[in-house]
Amino acid sequence: MTVSAPFQRDIFMTIIAESNYPKSLIEIVQGLKINTFKWAKVWTLNGTPENRYPNEHHVITQALVLFRTRYRSATADEQLELKQFFQKNR
């Protein structure tokens, strides 16, 4: 499939704009692997402790950096929405 130049620019701009759009917390956790998702849930429902859990694998800790950063900058409503999502999916 060949796309003419004006359309290529539009597609490119759309991809860039969407990649910079901040994802919701729920969208972020839904994109995590199952064990990473479980640790995100535990961390959130246990009050978002500052230190990582001693038995949390370093790969999971690294995978949760974006989520934890986004969570800490989220509004109270966004945080509540995520907690309700996790509680509903027990």
* pLDDT of the residue at 23: 87
Ordered by start, the domain boundaries in the chain are 23-88
Give the tens place of pLDDT for each residue, 10-37.
554 444 445 555 689 999 999 999 999 9
Which residues 6+ apart lie within 8 Å of 82 measured at CB?
25, 26, 29, 44, 71, 74
Structure tokens at 23: 């994802």
62, 6 contact by CB (below 8 A): no
pTM for the model stands at 0.74
Query: CA 20, CA 7: separation in Å to the nearest integer?
Result: 20
**pLDDT confidence band for 7 (50 / 70 / 90):** low
Average pLDDT, the chain: 84
Q: Are 33 and 90 in contact (CB under 8 A)?
A: no
Among 31, 42, 34, 20, residue whose Cα is nearest residue 87: 42
